[in-house]
Amino acid sequence: MSAPLTSDSIVVAADDQASADMEGQVAIVNLRTGACYTLNPVGGEIWRLIDQPRSVGAVCRAIGEQYGLSPQQAEQDVLALLQELVREGLVLVQ
């Protein structure tokens, strides 16, 4: 069980995955398990932001600005997705 994410956590897409843009969405294959995932356009934007190591706070700010969300709403949405991606082994917390 990994520690809960905070806005200071540094996250990055794992190496054991392959991803591709797909008509605004993103498709991801977990190369360890073979499982397949799709992200909607907002999820896809978050995914692109963590191609390089980045703090959760920075991701929240970027998404909030891009989609006109309140800081609380952006943090809630970003954390929910990142926590799921961490659970699935697609995102590493550094």
Binding site for other proteins (CB under 8 A): 15-23, 25, 27, 29-38
Q: Which is nearer to other proteins, 28 or 63 (CB)?
A: 28
Shortest Å distance, C-beta 31 to other proteins: 4
Alpha helices, DSSP H only, in the chain? Answer: 41-49, 56-67, 71-87
Q: Which is nearer to other proteins, 32 or 72 (CB)?
A: 32
Q: Which two tokens stand for residue 24?
A: 């605004």
The amino acid at 76: Q
Query: Which residue is listed with tokens 């932001």?
Result: 49
Q: Which is nearer to other proteins, 42 or 69 (CB)?
A: 42
